[in-house]
Amino acid sequence: MARRIQAQTTLTPSAYADTTNMTDATYPHFLQGGSPTQVNKIWEISLNGQAASSSSPTFMLLSRDSQTASSANSTSAGQTDQPLDFATAALTSAAQVGTTNTASKPQRSATGHLANCSLNAFGGVYFWRANRAEECFTMVSATAPLGQSSLSAFTGGTPGLIGSHLIYESM
């Protein structure tokens, strides 16, 4: 079991309707299993508003995806994915986490919303942490609808500049 932290220094998210292809580098992350049997648990989500001025209601949703990302998944500028413990061994089939890919794009499921992570990007903060494993948002496999989740902006509001991090565990 390996806990990892994915962080995005700064990003202005684009707002998407459900079941719409997301464009590369316009959402904080997707998390996808690295094998048909891999389990990924989300332990913590943090969003921090960085908008310079005025109210910026930013409607963010953590959701299962109805279409998974595929091929050459990677992080974008300002995004990192690191083990929490420097001695963590690499997994045989590492989870895919990122915001860019070369083939099919993630699509947020219309029926798989897991958490409303909305905030005012003008200095607002959203923070959630699981205390026990049964409280974690859990994905299993590498296929839709249970194998991938994403954090992305929903239509409405005025998405503003945010920073984020996600702590997840792959098993």
Domain boundary assignment for the chain: 2-86+93-170
- Which string of b and e fits 68-89 if b means at least 16 CB within 10 Å? bbbeebebbeebebeeeeeeee
CATH architecture of 2-86+93-170: Sandwich (2.60)
Q: Does position 72 have pLDDT exceeding 60, yes or no?
A: no
**pTM (whole model) above 0.75:** yes
25 or 43, which is more confident? 43
pLDDT digits (tens, 9 = 90+) for 81-95: 899 998 888 888 888
Q: How many residues would you count in the chain?
A: 171
Amino acid occupying residue 15: A
Average pLDDT, the chain: 92
Q: Does position 76 have pLDDT exceeding 80, yes or no?
A: no
Q: How large is the C-alpha radius of gyration of the chain?
A: 15
CA–CA dist 3, 170 (Å, integer): 7
